[in-house]
């Protein structure tokens, strides 16, 4: 038996930009002590930046200068000896460039319209090739503004209209050097593209029931296509992006999970008629499987949750002696087993996960 680790995740939290490494920055108190003057100046500049609108060129530049001063001071500290520059940056600087501001919802909504082709802008643009974003945002300014007028709050639209060129320059400029990349607004901008794709993936997977998950299903094929584009999108993002992000794992393994399930239904066709699976959204199922994968492989996890969701029907079936997957032991193949009590009688079920 493998241990099952269930992690509570906030449901449907798709927006994943602003994704710093989860661990706490190192040497923080040392830096606060030794670089008080620099920290204080940086904090004051930071306090002037609102949570609503992203800082534009000047105030971002001001802030960056302050945080560079902190870095310069901190890099001399004993505590950082032998540590990468990235760690010093993480301790000294805040995510002012890449943080998600309330206003960014406006950009996100525009991207969603562009993605769903619900627009009349003509410039070539592809979510697969992130860096074509400036073709549509720069060359079709009026058209993008037209979309913005429809989907953004009035204040946000005004901010967009009044600062369009500067904002888009900041959001599409692709910095090359390390420190500039770590907190650059373009990281957030491109990540939003991937989030649009991810949100489409989630939406489509809600519409597909577990019992119809197989490689031949047209909707499943489409889903896997989106998964693939999303993965490409994430890899191309210039942002240092948490690879352990939940949705990334999900999307990465979508292909494998679908392959395993196709095989399961191929060998046990009755299973696909079980109500427990015909009424279960593949979104919910995938989510469980992905959470389980900390503890086992895809095959084990798929089986574990089929068993878990379908206990009743498996019981009923076994009573009728119609169990189609009576245990057959194969050497070196792990079993997935569980016990249940019904009418005070103990039933033990053992499922063999075969290698085909
Ligand atoms: C600056 O802000 C950080 C984070 O809010 C805080 O930990 C630190 O004590 C502040 N330092 C100074 C000198 O104001
Ligand atoms: C940037 O800093 C300078 C002085 O350090 C200040 O005069 C200016 O107003 C600041 N600009 C912004 C946009 O914060
Ligand atoms: C796009 O459509 C909007 C209305 O939906 C219209 O106002 C605008 O002129 C159109 N733009 C172009 C470039 O055709
Ligand atoms: C089990 O048998 C009962 C009575 O014969 C029948 O109503 C029920 O549909 C059967 N269940 C399954 C899963 O075949």
Taking 70 as the threshold, does the pLDDT of residue 154 lie above it?
Answer: yes
Q: What pLDDT, in 10s, does the model give residues 59-114?
A: 999 999 999 999 999 999 999 999 999 999 999 999 999 899 999 999 999 999 99
Q: Report yes or no on 264 lying in a domain.
A: yes
Reported confidence tier of residue 345, pLDDT bands at 50, 70, 90: very low
Atom of ligand 2 nearest to the CA of 61: 1
- pTM, full prediction: 0.78
With a 6 Å cutoff on the Cβ, whether 69 touches ligand 2 is no
Taking 50 as the threshold, does the pLDDT of residue 159 lie above it?
Answer: yes
pLDDT, position 329? 43
With a 6 Å cutoff on the Cβ, whether 165 touches ligand 2 is no
Higher pLDDT, 104 or 236: 104
Higher pLDDT, 131 or 228: 228
Atom of ligand 2 nearest to the CA of 58: 13
Q: Which residues contact 119 (CB under 8 A, 6 or more apart)?
A: 113, 143, 147
Residue nearest (by alpha carbon) to ligand 1 atom 13: 40
Range of the domain at 33: 28-92
Q: How far apart are CA 260 and CA 338, in angstroms?
A: 21
Q: Report yes or no on 166 lying in a domain.
A: no
Taking 70 as the threshold, does the pLDDT of residue 35 lie above it?
Answer: yes
Mean pLDDT of 156-177: 93
Atom of ligand 1 nearest to the CA of 42: 1
Determine which of 3-12, 94-103, 284-293, 317-326 has the lowest per-residue pLDDT on average.
Answer: 3-12
Residue nearest (by alpha carbon) to ligand 1 atom 3: 43
Query: Domain boundary residue among 69, 92, 115?
Result: 92
- If you measure from the C-alpha of residue 57 to the centroid of ligand 1, how many angstroms do you get, rounded to a whole number? 24
- If you measure from the C-alpha of residue 62 to the centroid of ligand 2, how many angstroms do you get, rounded to a whole number? 6
- If you measure from the C-alpha of residue 68 to the centroid of ligand 2, how many angstroms do you get, rounded to a whole number? 16
Pairing of strands 345-352, 335-342: antiparallel
Taking 80 as the threshold, does the pLDDT of residue 158 lie above it?
Answer: yes
Q: Is 219 exposed, middle or buried (0-12, 13-18, 19+ CB in 10 A)?
A: middle
- If you measure from the C-alpha of residue 341 to the centroid of ligand 4, how many angstroms do you get, rounded to a whole number? 19
- If you measure from the C-alpha of residue 152 to the centroid of ligand 3, how many angstroms do you get, rounded to a whole number? 16
Residue nearest (by alpha carbon) to ligand 2 atom 12: 59
What b/e readout covers 239-250, taking b as 16+ CB neighbours within 10 angstroms? Answer: bbbeeeebbbeb
Q: How far apart are CA 121 and CA 192, in angstroms?
A: 19
Atom of ligand 2 nearest to the CA of 48: 14
Helix axes 104-115, 141-151, angle to 10 degrees: 110
Q: Is 67 exposed, middle or buried (0-12, 13-18, 19+ CB in 10 A)?
A: buried
- If you measure from the C-alpha of residue 321 to the centroid of ligand 4, how many angstroms do you get, rounded to a whole number? 10
- If you measure from the C-alpha of residue 43 to the centroid of ligand 1, how many angstroms do you get, rounded to a whole number? 6
Q: Report yes or no on 147 lying in a domain.
A: no
- If you measure from the C-alpha of residue 258 to the centroid of ligand 3, how many angstroms do you get, rounded to a whole number? 41
Atom of ligand 2 nearest to the CA of 56: 13
Higher pLDDT, 15 or 225: 225
pLDDT, position 18? 37
pLDDT, position 239? 58
Total domains in the fold of the chain: 2
In DSSP notation, 91-115 reads: HH---TTTSPPTTHHHHHHHHHHHH
Determine which of 16-20, 81-85, 125-129 has the lowest per-residue pLDDT on average.
Answer: 16-20
Q: Report yes or no on 255 lying in a domain.
A: yes
Q: Report yes or no on 117 lying in a domain.
A: no
Q: How far is CA 233 from CA 131, 132, 138, 238, 243, in A?
A: 10, 12, 20, 10, 13
Q: Which of 24, 31, 37, 39 to mutate to test the pocket of ligand 1 (most atoms within 8 A of CB)?
A: 39
Higher pLDDT, 94 or 245: 94
Residue nearest (by alpha carbon) to ligand 1 atom 4: 43
pLDDT, position 168? 96
What share of the chain in percent tops pLDDT 70?
Answer: 79
- If you measure from the C-alpha of residue 269 to the centroid of ligand 4, how many angstroms do you get, rounded to a whole number? 17
Please name the helix (run of DSSP H) or strand (run of DSSP E) that holds residue 347, with its range, or none.
strand 345-352
Average pLDDT, the chain: 82
With a 6 Å cutoff on the Cβ, whether 10 touches ligand 3 is no
Mean pLDDT of 273-296: 87
Q: Report yes or no on 266 lying in a domain.
A: yes
Residue 263 carries which DSSP code? H
Determine which of 138-152, 257-271, 303-317 has the lowest per-residue pLDDT on average.
Answer: 303-317
- If you measure from the C-alpha of residue 43 to the centroid of ligand 2, how many angstroms do you get, rounded to a whole number? 14
Mean pLDDT of 14-34: 70
Q: Report yes or no on 201 lying in a domain.
A: no
Q: Report yes or no on 299 lying in a domain.
A: yes
Query: Domain boundary residue among 92, 126, 147?
Result: 92
pLDDT, position 251? 83
Distant-in-sequence contacts of 76-80, Cβ < 8 A, 24+ apart: 77/27, 77/30, 77/31, 77/34, 78/30, 79/26, 79/27, 79/30, 79/31, 80/26, 80/27
Q: How far apart are CA 156 and CA 256, in angstroms?
A: 42
With a 6 Å cutoff on the Cβ, whether 332 touches ligand 4 is no
Q: Which ligand is nearest to the CA of 121?
A: 3
Query: Domain boundary residue among 63, 92, 121?
Result: 92
- In the structure encoding, which two tokens stand for residue 251, read together? 């999307």
Reported confidence tier of residue 146, pLDDT bands at 50, 70, 90: very high
Determine which of 6-15, 134-143, 175-184 has the lowest per-residue pLDDT on average.
Answer: 6-15
């Amino acid at each position: 038996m493998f241990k099952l680790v269930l992690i509570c995740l906030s449901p449907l939290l798709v927006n994943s930009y602003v994704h710093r490494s989860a661990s706490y920055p190192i040497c923080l108190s040392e830096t606060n002590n030794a670089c008080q003057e620099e920290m204080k100046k940086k904090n004051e500049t930071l306090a002037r930046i609102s949570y609503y609108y992203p800082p534009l060129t000047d105030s971002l530049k001001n802030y960056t200068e302050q945080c560079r001063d902190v870095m310069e001071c901190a890099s001399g500290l004993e505590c950082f000896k032998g540590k990468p520059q990235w760690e010093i940056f993480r301790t000294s600087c805040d995510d002012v460039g890449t943080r998600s501001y309330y206003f960014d919802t406006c950009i996100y909504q525009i991207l969603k319209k562009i993605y769903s082709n619900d627009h009349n802008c003509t410039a070539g643009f592809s979510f697969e090739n992130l860096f074509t974003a400036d073709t549509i945002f720069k060359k079709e300014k009026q058209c993008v503004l037209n979309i913005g007028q429809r989907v953004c709050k009035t204040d946000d639209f005004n901010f967009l209209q009044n600062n369009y060129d500067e904002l888009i320059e900041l959001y599409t400029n692709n910095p090359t050097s390390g420190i500039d990349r770590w907190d650059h607004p373009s990281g957030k901008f491109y990540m939003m593209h991937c989030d649009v794709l991810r949100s489409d993936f989630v939406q489509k997977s809600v519409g597909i029931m577990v019992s119809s998950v197989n490689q031949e299903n047209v909707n499943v094929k489409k889903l896997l296509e989106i998964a693939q584009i999303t993965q490409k999108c994430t890899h191309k993002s210039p942002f240092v992006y948490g690879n352990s992000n939940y949705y990334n794992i999900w999307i990465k393994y979508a292909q494998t999970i679908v392959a395993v399930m196709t095989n399961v239904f191929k060998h046990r066709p009755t299973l696909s008629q079980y109500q427990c699976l015909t009424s279960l959204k593949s979104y919910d199922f995938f989510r469980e499987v992905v959470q389980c994968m900390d503890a086992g492989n895809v095959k084990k996890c798929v089986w574990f949750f089929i068993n878990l969701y379908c206990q009743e029907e498996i019981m009923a079936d076994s009573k009728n002696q119609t169990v189609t997957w009576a245990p057959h032991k194969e050497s070196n193949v792990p079993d997935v087993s569980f016990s249940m009590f019904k009418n005070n009688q103990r039933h033990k079920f053992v499922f063999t996960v075969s290698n085909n």
